[in-house]
């Protein structure tokens, strides 16, 4: 575990907010609606947002208190403008009010400087690998949302340099943050890297190879406890070699492509076997396992399955005894629960979030979404912090998600979230609330245009209901998103449409709806404004002056 140098940061300012002398807020509540994955792109047949019938959203976007915000790249702490945003970094920025270096950027720095290899965790993993087998597990692509294959390649090469002679790679096929059927290209690149390492280390009998895999939405990468059997399938595949046998990962993918039109993310688990049909990469006592994903949400559960001594979500001994391995993650995915215990790169330290300030001021608030995005309006919004900041002032509501393909239920739980939000607003107990409508993102990820159009129309229907209630209560509604997705559903080359299942680089909407507005403030979008500018705006609308080091508000008085 890396340790920040002494004196790396100044003491945090005391929490406390001054009143906004220009605006004391409205008598009713302030509601923030985050339409997950709903970006802004030119109208066209691939844009589910504009293809849908959304009179309420159209009216919001046409209002004088409407603008757009950046939700990708450096605006949310990612390395470059080529890096798409995601829900985790988006909600970090929304809740923190400042931009913090995020996963990929942190890992890039640690690899470039060599700091990652100087950690006790890396040295311990290498020691285990020299004596036994070093396993690398992670999302296999260059999508740069959960992982990047360049990180994998650098660690594989360094492991060989450090004396490891036997390593196994367990690949989780993407097809979500990258083109839907791109796995073969990535596998070919990885096989070339492995071949080069093996040839260079032939005198030492170096043996690095792919051992197992499967689609990211079929095995291993569940989140928020939505589908533990999915984690079990991945655990048993990677650990004990349970899966359909093939002689290579490419053969597995080619065979499954021929059998259906499923994208990479939905392909079944597979294992690589030798000529005798024996899996080449099962895990055993003394092995080391490096989970090279840097994003936390879909890494927590598999981490717990490997390292929690009291794990009980499924029987780890059902196939064979659970091996005692040294497990580490690229980062610590949950800093409060300390998952995993060992990690290679420190996650960003995010303190003084907007929720901490509001609790210090005694402001009662609520957060609500369904399971798929519940952690985003709580854990990620609060700066990667589990649990309540102040349970006497906050109420968190989770609507259980259905465990079904989201294109089959494009409304998801948007109506149920709306129903419960209206109850919370009308209770009169809360001055601020935030919610996440997940369907623009989760249905958008399926690549199904018409289902995503339906999802947008349900969001529009529910927005109309929320606006009516906020108006009735004399409050303000703010509408935005955390990144794009539904705004580009396919690309087209020579008349051939290819579903786009990944996020986009497009900006997102930002609208203030205030029925009592008579010009007291205006949109004054700072240059380069992004999601981090939202927190200061919310504080201004609540009648407070934002902290001096927050990104400036999107409104001016």
Provide the pLDDT for residue 536.
Answer: 98
Provide the pLDDT for residue 12.
Answer: 47
Provide the pLDDT for residue 529.
Answer: 97
Calculate what percentage of the chain has a pLDDT beyond 90: 88
Answer yes or no: are the C-beta atoms of 138 and 293 closer than 8 Å: yes
Query: In this structure, how many other beta carbons lie within 10 angstroms of the beta carbon of residue 340?
Result: 25
- State the fold for domain 30-101+349-556: Alkaline Phosphatase, subunit A (3.40.720)
pLDDT tens-place string over residues 486-538? 999 999 888 889 898 889 999 999 999 999 999 999 999 999 999 999 999 99
Domain definitions of the chain by residue range: 30-101+349-556, 104-345
Q: CA 388 to CA 370: how far, in whole Å?
A: 17
Average pLDDT over residues 255-266: 97
Instruction: Please determine, for residue 288, whether its predicted confidence score (pLDDT) is greater than 60.
Output: yes
Kindly report the backbone phi and psi dihedral angles of residue 238, in degrees, each rounded to the nearest multiple of 5, phi listed first.
Answer: -70, -35
Instruction: Please determine, for residue 34, whether its predicted confidence score (pLDDT) is greater than 70.
Output: yes
Q: At what angle do helices 228-240 and 300-307 cross, to 10 degrees?
A: 50
Answer yes or no: are the C-beta atoms of 30 and 473 closer than 8 Å: no
* β 476-480/30-35 pair status: parallel
pLDDT tens-place string over residues 69-113? 999 999 999 888 888 898 989 999 999 999 999 888 899 999 999
From the options 3.40.1400.10, 3.20.20.80, 3.40.640.10, 3.40.1450.10, give the CATH code of 104-345: 3.40.1450.10
Provide the pLDDT for residue 26.
Answer: 98
Instruction: Return the C-alpha torsion angle 490, 492, 496, 501, nearest 10.
Output: -20
Average pLDDT, the chain: 94
Confidence bin at 160 (pLDDT 50/70/90): very high
- Of 196, 307, 181, the closest CA to residue 253 belongs to 181
Query: In this structure, how many other beta carbons lie within 10 angstroms of the beta carbon of residue 450?
Result: 13
pLDDT tens-place string over residues 376-424? 999 999 998 889 999 999 999 999 999 999 999 999 999 999 999 999 9
Contacts of residue 357, Cβ cutoff 8 Å, sequence gap at least 6: 15, 16, 17, 539, 544, 547
Domain 104-345 in the same topology as domain 30-101+349-556: no
pLDDT tens-place string over residues 118-142? 999 999 999 999 999 999 999 999 9
What are the catalytic residues? 87
Average pLDDT over residues 269-297: 96
Instruction: Please determine, for residue 27, whether its predicted confidence score (pLDDT) is greater than 70.
Output: yes
Average pLDDT over residues 442-469: 97
């Amino acid at each position: 575990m890396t340790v920040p140098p002494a004196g790396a940061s100044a003491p945090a300012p005391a929490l406390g907010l001054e009143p906004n002398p220009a605006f004391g807020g409205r008598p009713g509540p302030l509601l923030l609606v985050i339409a997950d994955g709903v970006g802004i792109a030119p109208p066209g047949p691939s844009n589910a947002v504009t293809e849908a019938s959304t009179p309420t959203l159209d009216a919001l976007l046409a209002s004088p208190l409407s603008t757009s915000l950046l939700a990708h790249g450096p605006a949310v702490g990612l390395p470059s403008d080529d890096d798409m945003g995601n829900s985790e970094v988006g909600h970090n920025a929304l809740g923190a009010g400042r931009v913090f270096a995020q996963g990929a950027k942190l890992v890039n720095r640690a690899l470039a400087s060599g700091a990652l290899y100087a950690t006790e965790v890396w040295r311990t993993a290498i020691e285990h690998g020299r004596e036994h087998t070093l396993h690398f597990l992670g999302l296999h692509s260059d999508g740069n949302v959960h992982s990047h294959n360049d990180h994998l390649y650098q660690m594989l090469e360094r492991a060989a340099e450090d004396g490891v002679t036997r390593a196994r790679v367990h690949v989780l096929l993407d097809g979500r943050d990258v083109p839907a059927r791109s796995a073969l290209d990535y596998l070919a690149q990885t096989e070339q890297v492995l071949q080069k390492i093996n040839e260079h280390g032939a005198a030492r009998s170096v043996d690095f190879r792919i051992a197992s895999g499967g689609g990211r939405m079929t095995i291993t990468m569940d989140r928020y406890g939505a589908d533990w059997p999915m984690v079990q399938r991945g655990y048993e595949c990677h650990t004990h070699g349970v899966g359909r046998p093939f002689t290579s990962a490419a053969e597995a993918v080619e065979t499954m492509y021929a059998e259906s039109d499923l994208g990479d993310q939905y392909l079944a688990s597979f294992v690589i076997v030798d000529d005798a049909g024996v899996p080449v990469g099962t895990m055993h006592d003394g092995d080391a396992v490096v989970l090279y994903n840097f994003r936390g949400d879909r890494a927590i559960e598999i981490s717990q399955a490997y390292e929690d001594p009291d794990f009980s979500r499924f029987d780890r001994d059902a196939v064979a005894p659970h091996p005692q391995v040294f497990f580490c993650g690229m980062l610590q995915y949950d800093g409060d629960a300390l998952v995993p215990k060992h990690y290679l790169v420190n996650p960003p330290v995010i303190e003084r979030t907007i929720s901490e300030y509001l609790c210090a001021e005694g402001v009662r608030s609520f957060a609500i979404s369904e399971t798929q995005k519940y952690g985003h309006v709580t854990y990620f919004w609060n700066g990667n912090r589990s649990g309540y900041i102040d349970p006497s002032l906050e109420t968190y509501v989770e609507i259980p998600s259905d465990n079904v393909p989201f294109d089959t239920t494009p409304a998801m739980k948007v109506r149920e979230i709306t129903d419960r939000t209206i109850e919370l607003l009308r209770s009169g107990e809360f001055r601020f609330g935030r919610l996440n409508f997940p369907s623009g993102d989760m249905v958008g990820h399926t690549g199904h245009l018409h289902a995503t159009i339906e999802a947008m129309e349900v969001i529009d229907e529910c927005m109309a209901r929320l606006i009516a209630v906020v108006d009735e209560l004399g409050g303000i509604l703010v509408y935005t998103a955390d990144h794009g997705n539904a705004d580009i559903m396919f690309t087209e080359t020579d008349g051939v449409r290819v579903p786009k299942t990944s996020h986009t680089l497009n900006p997102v909407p930002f609208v203030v709806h205030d029925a009592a507005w008579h010009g007291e403030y205006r949109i004054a979008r700072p240059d380069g404004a992004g999601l981090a500018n939202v927190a200061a705006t919310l504080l201004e609308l609540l009648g407070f002056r934002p902290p001096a080091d927050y990104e400036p508000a999107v409104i001016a008085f």
